[in-house]
Amino acid sequence: MSAQKLSRREALKLLAAATGAAALSALPPTWSKPDLQIGVLPAHAQTSLLHILSTFFFPEEVDPGRSYCYDGMIVRFTAIITPPTTGILLQYSLTYNVTGVPGSITSPSPATGTVATDASGRASIDVTVLPDSPFFGTEGTLTVVWSFVNPADGTNTASQDYDVLISC
């Protein structure tokens, strides 16, 4: 391979082809130090068929094109269990800790509930935060705590935070 002679665009095209990226925009725009978090699961997780709950996926904003502050913000939280198994019920408990202008969770309601994992072992919830006033936005930290509904399914709890900032 003669990568040294490649232009940047040619190299990005090769990267997109090699990684299956649908578009160049799917590649990271700049280089950052590779971050690897490596965990070794307890041995009993395999032998006893218990599942381990993790939150390796970062929360993401859904529908970021909402352009008015009174539309609020939707944040997707995802938990994953291993080994991947469908139909395991996970409980979520949501809180919104206001650090600036007040706001609140409007969906899901109530802020505690259950969701089942899919075939890849993932379970997700979309959380809507709205400013209390449509004119002033809101700022705070959205937190979800995940746990198994049935302790016999697995062990561990996990939490995720997302910093909300809606400015008008």
Partner 1 sequence: MFSFPVDEPNLCPRHEEGFQLETLNGEIVLLHPSRNIIIHGSQTSALIWQLCDGARTVGEIVELLSAAYPDAAEDIRADVPAAIQQLIHHGALTVK
Residues near partner 1, by CB under 8 A: 1, 3-4, 6-8, 10-12, 14-15, 18-21, 26-28, 30-43, 45-46, 52, 54, 56-58, 60, 78, 80, 82-84, 120, 122
Nearer to partner 1, 33 or 135 (CB): 33
Nearer to partner 1, 80 or 101 (CB): 80
The answer to whether residues 80 and 58 touch, using CB atoms and an 8 Å cutoff, is no
Minimum distance from CB of 161 to partner 1 (Å)?
17
Nearer to partner 1, 18 or 65 (CB): 18
The set of residues, in sequence order, having a beta carbon less than 8 Å from that of 117 and lying 6+ positions away, is 80, 81, 84, 85, 86, 87, 88, 90, 123
The answer to whether residues 148 and 155 touch, using CB atoms and an 8 Å cutoff, is yes
Minimum distance from CB of 122 to partner 1 (Å)?
8
Minimum distance from CB of 35 to partner 1 (Å)?
4
Give, in order, the Cα–Cα distances in Å from 57 to each of 32, 79, 84, 159, 161: 18, 7, 15, 11, 12
Minimum distance from CB of 74 to partner 1 (Å)?
15
Nearer to partner 1, 2 or 110 (CB): 2
* 157: Cα within 13 Å, side-chain hemisphere: 11
Alpha carbon distance 138, 168 (integer Å)? 9
